[in-house]
Amino acid sequence: MSPFGLIAVFGMAALIALFYFIVGRKELEQPRTGRLLLRWTLMKRALHWTVATLFIVLALTGMTLLFGKFVFRPLFGDGIWAWMIAATKVLHNYLGPIFGILLVILLVSLIKENIPKSTTGCGLRKAAV
């Protein structure tokens, strides 16, 4: 990977921020009612946030592995950079398989709830001829 990949990543983040500043937040059409609904169980929320946290850690460690030589080595010098890149590689290698397994578990648990059922009344109907 070249340093241009790092420019592309930060360029995309800048475009997203620019879009947010131009368009702004999406406001609710009606005021909040104060009613609360349990949408996801505690287990599914915990699984989701574990996968999300692992994703962010893996993204940061992966970018450090790819672009650390261009960014952190000149900033910190060889001694600190060598320790940082070694720790990053170990962390990335051990958390990657855990992320993969938990992601599959999360997707399987969510996909079965998102398959359309004919009993809900939202299935396709045959046209009368």
pTM of the complete model: 0.70
Pseudo-torsion of CA 84, 87, 89, 93, nearest 10°? -160
Percent over 70 (pLDDT), the chain: 90
Q: How confident is the model at residue 120 (pLDDT cuts 50, 70, 90)?
A: low
DSSP 118: G
Residue 77: left (phi > 0), alpha (psi -120 to 50), or beta? left
Domain spans of the chain, in order of start: 40-111
More reliable by pLDDT, 25 or 122: 25
Q: Is the pLDDT of residue 51 over 90?
A: yes
The tens digit of pLDDT for each residue in 57-79 reads 999 999 888 888 888 888 888 88
121 has pLDDT over 70: no
